[in-house]
Amino acid sequence: MVFWFKEKQVTPEEKKTSFRAIYNKTIQGLMALFKENKNAALFLLAFMFVSDALLTAQLYFAIYLDQLFRIGDTQKLVVLAAMEIVAILSAYVIGKLSDRYGIKKLLVLSCWILFFGFFTVSINSSLPIIYVLASLIGLGIAGFYVTSRALLLKISPISQQGEYFGFYSTFQKFASIIGPLVWGVTTLALKDYGIFRYRVAFLALAFLMLIGTLMMIRVHDRTEKGFNYG
């Protein structure tokens, strides 16, 4: 399909650039982002915290299930499959609801669902409830990724949307570093406390989620009263 896709032709003059020029433009773009479009910068920071917790939880969830519930691989597969299947099936529905009720409202609601799910997982000891929570988290995952990209489109300058989605990916990559670091430091610091350290680590992820959610509430949708594009 990529081979069949037709892209606008680029002139030879447009192709001429250097790594140094791209690097300098990237730094300048980041500086301009925080100086000229604080609303989008706040969104990206909030996105980083939420995505941070989310990606880390997905990475270590199987370990968490193994350490706390001592379940086999088949049961782990069922729990993780429930999460992903709900995410797939609900993504379209949430997208339609965001068109009707507002992108930011659905995004913030998705963040709260994720926080509640993470927090409850960290204190829950019942395996049947884990299946329910995994499905709930799947719903939050779908809502978060569907609406976060849509909101970024609304709050980024039309002429720079490609650049802003580059920022989006950059902040997501930072989340891939910070989250596992928080998990690793927590479990290492509490290594003498047995499986309790995994509960604390998951609770730390919920705290990161809470920070991101509270920041996301402050992000202005372009259609909201009082929106300042800068």
Considering the domain boundaries, does residue 11 fall inside one?
Answer: no
Q: Is the pLDDT of residue 1 over 90?
A: no
Considering the domain boundaries, does residue 20 fall inside one?
Answer: no
Q: 3-class DSSP state for residue 55?
A: helix
* Contact call for residues 124 and 12 (beta carbons, < 8 A): no
Average pLDDT over residues 167-196: 87
Q: Is the pLDDT of residue 215 over 80?
A: yes
Considering the domain boundaries, does residue 9 fall inside one?
Answer: no
Lowest mean pLDDT among 49-63, 70-84, 167-181: 167-181
Considering the domain boundaries, does residue 144 fall inside one?
Answer: yes
Residue 72, phi then psi, degrees to nearest 5: -80, 175
Here the CATH number for the domain that contains residue 185 is 1.20.1250.20
Q: Which two three-digit tokens encode residue 143?
A: 């809502």
Three-class HEC string of 183-208? HHHHHHHCHHHCCHHHHHHHHHHHHH
Considering the domain boundaries, does residue 143 fall inside one?
Answer: yes
**pLDDT, greater one: 106 or 162:** 106
> What is the predicted pLDDT for the residue at 155?
87
Q: Which residues form the domain of 95?
A: 29-53+68-217
Q: 3-class DSSP state for residue 1?
A: coil
Considering the domain boundaries, does residue 23 fall inside one?
Answer: no
Q: Is the pLDDT of residue 26 over 90?
A: no
> What is the predicted pLDDT for the residue at 227?
41
pLDDT grade for 168, boundaries at 50, 70 and 90: confident
Q: From the CB of residue 142, how many other CB atoms can be counted at a distance below 10 Å? A: 23
> What is the predicted pLDDT for the residue at 39?
87
Average pLDDT over residues 176-187: 89
Average pLDDT along the chain: 86
Considering the domain boundaries, does residue 87 fall inside one?
Answer: yes
pLDDT tens for residues 104-123? 999 999 999 999 999 999 99
> What is the predicted pLDDT for the residue at 15?
53
Considering the domain boundaries, does residue 160 fall inside one?
Answer: yes
- Number of independent structural domains in the chain: 1
pLDDT grade for 223, boundaries at 50, 70 and 90: very low
Can you tell me the distance from the alpha carbon of 121 to that of 202, in angstroms, rounded to the nearest whole number? 8
Q: Which of 103, 96, 87 is nearest to 137 (CA)?
A: 87
Average pLDDT over residues 198-224: 89
